A = this chain, B = another copy of it.
Amino acid sequence: MGTKGDNNRTRIIEAADMLFYKRGYNQTSFSDIADVTGIPRGNFYYYFKTKDDILAAVVEARIRHYEEALVECDNAADSPRERLLAFVDNMASSEDTLVESGCPIGSLCTELAKDTEALQSKSREVFGLLRDWMCRQFEEIGFSDANDKAMDMLARMQGVAVMASAFKDTEYLHRSIGDLRNWINSLTLN
A120 at interface by CB-CB < 8 Å: yes
Whether, in the assembled complex, A162 has its beta carbon less than 8 Å from a beta carbon of chain B, the answer is: yes
The answer to whether A124 has its CB under 8 Å from any CB of chain B is yes
Tell me the residues in window 145-183 of chain A with beta carbons closer than 8 Å to chain B beta carbons. 148, 151-152, 154-160, 162-163, 165-168, 172, 175-176, 179
- Secondary structure at the A interface, as helix, strand, loop or mixed, is helix
A22 at the interface (CB under 8 A from B): yes
Which of B106, B115, B152, B176 meets A162, CB within 8 Å?
Answer: B106
A166 touches B101 (CB 8 A): no
Contact A155–B159 (Cβ < 8 Å): yes
A26 to B113 alpha-carbon distance, docked (Å): 14
Could you say which of B26, B162, B167 contacts A27, with CB atoms under 8 Å apart?
B26
Nearest Cβ in chain B — how far from A38, in angstroms?
Answer: 23
Q: Is A30 an interface residue (CB 8 A)?
A: no
A80 contacts the other chain (Cβ, under 8 Å)? no
A94-148 with Cβ < 8 A to chain B: 100-102, 106-107, 109-111, 113-115, 120, 123-124, 127, 148
